Amino acid sequence: MPGTLLHRGATVQCLHAGEAQPAVTNPRVKVRGQQIVIRTSTYTIAGCTSNPPCATAQWVTSAVRVRAGGVPVLLQDSQAVCVPTVTGLNIVATQPRVKGT
């Protein structure tokens, strides 16, 4: 399924409402002036209400056809797994214009 590309300014939360931010972005590709996020980037999570709280998340799905620097980019429908809770991330909002598959 096509989805919009994930970028640094996207609103991403763990399932317990903790705020998730990418540790690394691709510095060469931008959408709406913000760097996009690639599959190899982990997310750090702050403010998780779970016990124990979500600390990081690693992506398990990404774009199939779109790559940046040889690495698949993340899309709005990409899936991640949080550590240590083994729950997912919720992509709440992202830029609406650039899509990939």
- Of 83, 78, 1, nearest in space to 36 by CA: 78
Predicted confidence band at 2 (pLDDT cuts at 50, 70, 90)? confident
Predicted confidence band at 17 (pLDDT cuts at 50, 70, 90)? very high
Overall residue count recorded for the chain in this entry: 101
- pLDDT at residue 1 above 80? no
Q: Please state the pTM of the whole predicted model.
A: 0.93
CB-count exposure of residue 92 (10 Å: 0-12, 13-18, 19+): exposed
Could you give all domains of the chain from N- to C-terminal order, each with its CATH number? Answer: 3-92 (2.60.200.60)
pLDDT in tens, 25-61: 999 999 999 999 999 999 999 999 999 999 999 999 9
Q: End-to-end CA distance of the chain, in Å?
A: 6
